[in-house]
Each structure stands twice: as C-alpha cells, then as structure tokens.
Amino acid sequence: MDITRLGFGSWAIGGGGWVYAWGPQDDDESVATIRRAVELGINWVDTAAIYGFGHSEEVVARAL
C-alpha cells in the first residue's frame, strides 16, 4: 500500500461538546476540506473512534 507522506488529521472535525473537543465545527466545511485534500493527492486520512465519539468517521464517510 502506498500512502502520501502528508496525511489529513480528522480529530478537529469530530466537533465540540466533549472534554477534548476543538470546539464547534461545520460539517459541510469539513467535507469540502477533506475533498480538497483528496483532490490535491492526499490519500491518508487519520481518524479514531475517540474523535468526536465517532462523529469524525461519519464526516469522513460523507466526504469519501
């Protein structure tokens, strides 16, 4: 598997409302940002279940 040296970290797109959150995020802007990263050649999206308790995965799924 080949992945880009630079990846897209999705912690912040998990949104707000929990102790480790980055604050409120706009899901549509997050989707647009992920899509732009892919257009620019990024093929590695980092995510984890703790990022917004699964919300970041939902946003990544929408984008891809």
- Known catalytic residues are 51
Query: Helix count (H) and strand count (E) of the chain?
Result: 2, 2
Q: Cα dist. 53→1, 34, 37, 39, 58 in Å? A: 28, 19, 23, 27, 10
